[in-house]
A and B are shown apart, each in its own frame.
Chain A
């Protein structure tokens, strides 16, 4: 480390971020899938639900990922499914992080009775197996959409983010610069957003990344059990159909391998990025 040039203070974060291998690998994988999701439709003319080819044919130059039992283009479904996955992750994970921030900031900053009561709510949502909750709610809706699924996931997935943010807020609340802001009659909301939040930006970013990945996994699980969006495709729905229509005994592996592999790669890349970011923000964790 001694002979490395000392980075300028402003670029310190970027400097360590770009040097971090975990962060680089994670970002590359994530970008790769974002690009396929965004521009994949340019690579295939087939609509995802149309019966365009011979049934159950293996990957070929015409159908990159082969076709389903019904002769649908797996790659076309995969691209649409990727989009659904990113939408659920961004919306569901984003909403969960927002609620978590709101609850965490207010509980941590106000303390007292507000904190106590918010804590009870957080703990209740925390012990409820949210998947069971999503299950029973979804089961009763006859028409379900992607946005609705994301909202439900967001509304149930926030508690642990709230806990982490609350703990962090609590420790920042009694610092001198916050005291100074308070004595200069700054409004609580402004203190939270201009004094406290910027000092825990790393936490917020990491909470969002984890919530993003978590939302993707929950959505895939719901979709697989048949409680996903009633129209359209998602990676979970692809796997559901593959199992339902005998892809296993028929040995049509190209039907069920890509969707699951994509989810594992995306969520794995997110987790990996998270560890990388942790190391960037916290010098103690860097590998020596």
Chain B
């Protein structure tokens, strides 16, 4: 087990290190001089422009040697300093992201966990049940092939515009300010439901298909046939098949995290839901690179942390990892 966690942790640390390096490197690799660009827009006379140039070069510490800039970047990062947003000047990037995180958690956690649970249950139920397999399966394929934002747009149009049941923008009504009351909680839930539903549905399709295929593999495995030959009831065989099939689905959750997060980002854009995804769109449209960089780092950290949590869960559900019988 120590070996298992050691390997995983090493991978995460290297990944984090690389991500931070990329975050630092990319702006510096890009063609063009950012300060020159900034000054070009201000249309100053040559003399003033040169003075401003030296001033900004010094202010952004671009006159330091490259390795010093790199170390400073790490140092700032460990102090929670991600720079200052130019779009929401002078709010620090870290504060902006901190305000957005609760909305992401509120959207992501329920949709990921519920879709994983429901999808697995449904997939296991549908496998080798001919009628369900032929009717429900094509639908789940379409669901998992649907681009997240399109399902979001469709739901917003259908339930928000045509039927008028749910609001389609924001996290709570614009006429309210956050406070603790039933009407406010109701408003929050109403605004949350459609983005949640679109994330849930796409995820549900994917997990159901994965589980259905895994169950069929397991039902064809020798131990299932052996149980069958012994005259074990169908329910018991399926129970064993499910317990074996759930393991790749746990790993699958870790592998899918990046895709799910990407889906959540665009879903937030569709519903103007004030999480990280919406922030990124604003940052891109306003060319606020510090904010984009901060969001990038935050997403990486979140996904790595979630990966680690899933590793812990995996050790709990699969006893073989505890005994060191599985290398990966």
Q: Chain B residues with Cβ under 8 A from A268's Cβ?
A: 138, 141-142, 144-146
Min C-beta distance of A10 to chain B, whole Å: 27
In the complex, the answer to whether B213 meets A275 with C-beta atoms within 8 Å is yes
**Does any Cβ of B come within 8 Å of A280's Cβ?**
no
Within 8 A of A (CB), among B250-291: 254-255, 257-259, 261-263, 265-266, 269-270, 277, 280-281, 284-285, 289
Interface residue? A272 (CB, 8 A): yes
B260 to chain A, nearest CB (A): 9
Q: In the docked arrangement, what's the CA distance between A139 and B149, Å?
A: 20
Residues of B within 8 A of A249 (CB): 161
**A235 → chain B closest CB, angstroms:** 8
**Closest partner residue, chain A, to B287 (CB atom):** A139
- Min distance, Cβ A138 to any Cβ of chain B, angstroms: 9
Question: How many Å from the CB of B191 to the closest CB on chain A?
Answer: 15
Give chain B residues whose Cβ lies under 8 Å from the Cβ of A251. Answer: 157, 161-162
Pick from A127, A253, A272 the residue with the most CB of B within 10 Å.
A127
Q: Bits for A252-288, please: 1 = Cβ < 8 Å to B, else 0.
A: 0100110111011111101110010010000011010
Contact A243 B262 (CB under 8 A): no
> Which residues of A (47-79) have their CB < 8 Å from a CB of B?
none
Asked if B258 and A132 make an inter-chain contact with CB atoms under 8 angstroms apart, the answer reads: yes
Q: How far is the CB of B217 from chain A (nearest CB, A)?
A: 8
B102 interface residue (CB < 8 Å to A)? no
Binds B, one of A33-41, A92-100, A170-178, A223-231: A223-231
A88 to B143, CA, bound (A): 21
Proximity string of chain B (234-250) to chain A, C-beta cutoff 8 Å, 1 when within and 0 when not? 00000000000000000
| Closest chain A residue to B288, Cβ basis | A139
Interface residue A160 (Cβ < 8 Å from any Cβ of B): yes
Q: Tell me the interface secondary structure of chain B in the complex.
A: helix
| Pick from B130, B133, B220, B277: contact of A284, CB under 8 Å | B220
Q: Are A129 and B141 in contact (CB under 8 A)?
A: no
Q: Are A224 and B266 in contact (CB under 8 A)?
A: yes
| Residue A136 lies at the interface, judged by CB distance under 8 Å to chain B | yes
* Known contacts A128-B300, A224-B266; A140 and B213 CB within 8 A of each other: no
Interface contacts (Cβ under 8 Å), in number, total 161
Measured between beta carbons, the chain A residues less than 8 angstroms from B307 are 127
The answer to the question of B184 belonging to the interface, with a C-beta cut-off of 8 Å to chain A, is: no
Which A residues are in CB contact (< 8 Å) with B168?
248
A53–B92 Cα distance when bound, in Å, is 47
For the complex, count residues of B whose C-beta is within 8 A of A: 64
Partner of A260, one of B146, B161, B162, B303: B146
Is B26 an interface residue, CB under 8 A from the partner?
yes
Residues from chain B with Cβ under 8 Å of A131 in the complex: 258-259, 261-262, 265
Smallest beta-carbon distance A117→chain B, Å: 12
Q: Which of B262, B280, B303 has the most CB of A within 10 A?
A: B262
Q: Does B30 sit at the interface, judged by CB under 8 A?
A: yes
* Cα-based distance from A279 to B148 in the complex (angstroms): 28
Q: How far is the CA of A136 from the CA of B147 in the complex (A)?
A: 21
Q: Which residues of B contact A128 (CB under 8 A)?
A: 15, 18-19, 258, 300, 303
Enumerate B176-223 residues with CB–CB distance to A below 8 Å: 209, 213, 216-217, 220
Q: Is the pair A136, B160 in contact by a Cβ cutoff of 8 Å?
A: no
Q: Is A136 touching B293 in the complex (CB atoms < 8 A)?
A: yes
Q: Could you tell me the distance between the alpha carbons of A263 and B142 in the complex, rounded to whole angstroms?
A: 10
Residues of A near B259 (CB, < 8 A) are: 131
A111 to chain B, nearest CB (A): 13
A225 touches B157 (CB 8 A): no
Stretch at the interface among A11-19, A180-188, A195-203, A213-221: A213-221
For the complex, what is the distance from the CA of A131 to the CA of B257, rounded to whole Å?
11
How long is the Cα–Cα vector from A128 to B303 in the complex, in angstroms?
A: 8
- Is B53 among interface residues, defined by CB-CB distance under 8 A? no
B26 touches A129 (CB 8 A): no
Distance of A226 Cα from B138 Cα, bound (Å): 31
A115 CA / B149 CA spacing, docked (Å): 39
Q: Are A129 and B303 in contact (CB-based, < 8 A)?
A: yes
Contacts of A284 in B (CB 8 A): 220
Whether B11 sits at the interface, judged by CB under 8 Å, is yes
The reply to whether the CB of A135 lies closer than 8 angstroms to some CB of chain B is: yes
Within 8 A of A (CB), among B116-162: 130, 133, 138, 141-142, 144-151, 153-154, 156-157, 160-162
Instruction: Write out the residue numbers on chain A whose beta carbons fall within 8 Å of the beta carbon of B217.
Output: 285
Contact of A239 among B27, B153, B265 (CB under 8 A): B153
**Cross-chain contact A129 with B258 (CB below 8 angstroms):** yes
Cβ distance A287 to chain B, nearest Cβ, rounded Å: 7
Interface centre among A141, A267, A270 (most CB of B within 10 A): A267
Going nearest first, the 3 A-B pairs with the smallest beta carbon separation are A260-B150, A131-B262, A129-B258
Q: Which B residues form the contact surface with A (CB < 8 A)?
A: 11-12, 14-15, 18-19, 22-23, 26-27, 30, 130, 133, 138, 141-142, 144-151, 153-154, 156-157, 160-162, 168, 209, 213, 216-217, 220, 254-255, 257-259, 261-263, 265-266, 269-270, 277, 280-281, 284-285, 289, 292-293, 295-296, 299-300, 303-304, 307
* Given A218-B262, A224-B269, 20 extra CB contacts under 8 A: A120-B14, A127-B254, A132-B262, A132-B296, A133-B22, A136-B23, A160-B255, A220-B150, A225-B265, A227-B284, A236-B147, A248-B156, A259-B150, A261-B150, A264-B142, A264-B150, A266-B145, A268-B144, A284-B220, A287-B130
CB-defined A-B contacts under 8 Å, sample of 17: A124-B14, A124-B18, A127-B11, A128-B15, A128-B258, A128-B300, A132-B300, A136-B23, A220-B149, A221-B147, A225-B269, A256-B150, A260-B150, A264-B146, A264-B150, A275-B213, A284-B220
